[in-house]
């Protein structure tokens, strides 16, 4: 079974790189006022391969940089003319090329979500500072889990912190300290806070009381192709719940 799965993942990677295209879906991010702040672009491969598996294979074969650029360009091509703003995931090595990133979209069109475990060396941090100087938002993804540590936060100095769904689930179970710690850390540095993985609409008001600025999760909108979201004349959370 593992051999078959590996073959399918390899086929997905080859198809993406050969066609220079990846199908994309988009999930909304809502502000506490109930307005749509933007949409996160998420890759969905045609043969059903998990995106993480495809990217892990690309990393092992040193083709992840090519895959990243294909995904970024595919996301913007799908979103253009439909959404005002996209949240785009970028792995750390892409930060070496801020000029190329700037050609993907304007500051008002793009929020860069920094992912991956790669150490943020001086060159990459220079890329972050350049993008911020040009007016782009930098979001730290999956805060509080794995490599998204306090040290990484202090290196990145993001303008947006996205708290991982696991911390939100822990908070929902009644253990609130870790989420409150990250909210306080972000606010002390002037960053806005987004929570991922909101599975119940009833969590929204209590999370606003915790200081959360924006929300993302299945309870507030499942990932869908751009055309499906584009068919909605107005994005307003309280009318869609």
Predicted pLDDT at 28? 95
Q: Is 186 helix (H, G, I), strand (E, B) or coil?
A: helix
The structure's pTM equals 0.90
Going by C-alpha positions, the residue among 48, 53, 54 that lies closest to residue 17 is 54
> Using an 8 Å Cβ cutoff, are 75 and 35 in contact?
no
Statement: residue 83 has pLDDT above 90: no
CA–CA separation, 158 and 49 (whole Å): 31
Predicted pLDDT at 4? 54
Task: Report the percentage of the chain scoring pLDDT > 70.
Answer: 91
Statement: residue 235 has pLDDT above 80: no
Question: Which backbone phi and psi does 9 adopt, to 5 degrees?
Answer: -65, -40
pLDDT in tens, 194-208: 999 999 999 999 999
Which string of b and e fits 3-36 if b means at least 16 CB within 10 Å?
Answer: eeeeebbeebbebbeeeebbebbbbbbbbbeeeb
Task: With cut-offs at 50, 70 and 90, classify the pLDDT of residue 1.
Answer: very low
Name, in order, each residue with C-beta under 8 angstroms of 134's C-beta and a sequence gap of 6 or more.
98, 102, 107
Per the domain annotation, does 98 fall within a domain?
yes
> Using an 8 Å Cβ cutoff, are 208 and 32 in contact?
yes
Average pLDDT over residues 82-105: 90
Predicted pLDDT at 225? 94
Which string of b and e fits 41-71 if b means at least 16 CB within 10 Å?
Answer: bbbebeeebebebbbebbbeeebbeebbbbb
Task: With cut-offs at 50, 70 and 90, classify the pLDDT of residue 240.
Answer: very low
Q: What is the mean pLDDT of the chain?
A: 90
Find the domain containing 95 and state its range.
2-165+221-228
Q: Is 38 helix (H, G, I), strand (E, B) or coil?
A: strand
Average pLDDT over residues 18-43: 95
pLDDT in tens, 209-220: 999 999 999 999
Predicted pLDDT at 241? 43
Name, in order, each residue with C-beta under 8 angstroms of 82's C-beta and a sequence gap of 6 or more.
226, 227, 229, 230
Going by C-alpha positions, the residue among 220, 236, 229, 212 that lies closest to residue 86 is 229
Predicted pLDDT at 221? 93
Per the domain annotation, does 180 fall within a domain?
no
CA–CA separation, 99 and 104 (whole Å): 9
Statement: residue 37 has pLDDT above 90: yes
Per the domain annotation, does 122 fall within a domain?
yes
CA–CA separation, 169 and 148 (whole Å): 17
Per the domain annotation, does 211 fall within a domain?
no
Per the domain annotation, does 158 fall within a domain?
yes
Number of domains in the chain: 1
> Using an 8 Å Cβ cutoff, are 192 and 161 in contact?
yes
Chain center to CA of 201: 21
Per the domain annotation, does 154 fall within a domain?
yes
CA–CA separation, 122 and 43 (whole Å): 29
Placement of tokens 């999370």 in the chain: 207
CATH number, domain of 15, equals 3.20.20.450
């Amino acid at each position: 079974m593992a051999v078959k799965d590996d073959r399918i993942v390899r086929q997905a990677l080859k198809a993406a790189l050969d066609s220079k295209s990846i199908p994309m879906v988009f999930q909304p991010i809502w502000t506490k006022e109930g307005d749509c702040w933007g949409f996160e672009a998420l890759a969905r491969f045609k043969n059903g391969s998990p995106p993480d598996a495809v990217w892990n294979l690309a990393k092992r074969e040193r083709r992840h940089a090519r895959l990243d650029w294909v995904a970024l360009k595919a996301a913007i091509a799908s979103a253009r003319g439909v959404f005002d703003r996209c949240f785009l995931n970028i792995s750390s090595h892409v930060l070496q090329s801020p000029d190329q990133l700037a050609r993907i979209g304007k500051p008002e069109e793009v929020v860069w979500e920094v992912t991956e475990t790669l150490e943020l060396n001086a060159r990459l941090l220079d890329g972050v500072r350049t993008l911020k100087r040009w007016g782009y938002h930098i979001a730290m993804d999956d805060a509080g889990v794995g490599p998204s540590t306090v040290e990484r936060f202090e290196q990145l100095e993001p303008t947006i912190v996205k708290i991982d769904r696991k911390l939100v689930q822990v908070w929902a179970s009644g253990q609130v300290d870790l989420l409150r710690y990250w909210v306080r850390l972000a606010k002390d540095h002037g960053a806005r806070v987004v929570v991922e993985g909101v599975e119940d609409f009833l969590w929204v008001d209590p999370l606003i009381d915790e200081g959360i600025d924006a929300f993302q999760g299945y309870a507030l909108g499942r990932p869908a192709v751009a055309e499906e979201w584009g068919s909605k004349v107005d994005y307003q959370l309280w009318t869609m719940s």
